[in-house]
Amino acid sequence: MDIYEVIIYLNNSLLVICALAGVLKYKAFKNAEKWYVYYIIFLFLIETLIKISMFYFRVKDLDFLFPYYVSGDFLMLGILFIRKLKLPGFWYIPVILLACFFFIKTEGIPDEVKKVISNIIIICFAGYALLMEIRNTEIDDRFMPADSMIFLYYGLSVFLFFLLRQLAGFGIEEAGMIWSVNNILCGCMYISFIYTFLRLKK
């Protein structure tokens, strides 16, 4: 087992712990904050589908799950930040329309590019939430560690995507090492969620 696989298994374990922590502390969440739990449960379900497809049904090509991941990931976080930031209701319209766009196959725009667009919008949402939390407005800052890691993780994912596109000469091992950095930060995001969830009080 190489280091890349170790990181993947570690991330999966942290995701399970994170989902359990969210469910166990669910009553301590405010209404808008419950979307953090829905987001983690969504990631858990996607990861479970991937594992079942790979090890039970022996499916080798998992590209069919990617649109579900991109659109669902964007929808969960979009609704989360709209509710948390108390944005006007019309903000749901572009978020839902974009989620549909990310889900539908379109010519000329590959799924990877849609993921980058999704990440950039999520970065904007998370960055704005952090600014509001830092300014000590009516936005509660008890999820600042989680929002910070969302911002860093999705920002790094966009950077690595463009890096790999520019440096197409990378071999499989080099690309694996680069994405391992992304996966490590993903694990850090799960840790920040676990830490935040366990500290919550009613």
pLDDT by residue, tens only, the chain of 202 residues: 578 788 899 999 999 999 999 999 999 999 999 999 999 999 999 999 999 999 888 898 899 999 999 999 999 999 999 999 999 999 999 999 999 999 998 888 899 899 999 999 999 999 999 998 888 766 678 999 999 999 999 999 999 888 877 766 666 677 777 778 889 999 999 999 999 999 998 6
Distance CA 119, CA 157 (A): 8
112-to-12, 153, 165, 166, 191 alpha-carbon distances in Å? 22, 16, 11, 14, 26
Structure confidence at residue 57 (pLDDT): 87
Domains and CATH numbers, the chain: 3-199 (1.20.1070)
Cα gap 74→37, rounded to integer Å: 15
pTM: 0.94
Residues 193, 39 contacting (CB under 8 angstroms): no
Query: Which letter does DSSP use for residue 107 in this model?
Result: T
Work out the angle at residue 126's Cα, subtended by the Cα atoms of residues 124 and 130, and round it to the nearest 5 degrees.
Answer: 115
Q: How far is CA 190 from CA 53, 93, 166, in A?
A: 23, 29, 29
CB 79 within 8 A of CB 35: yes
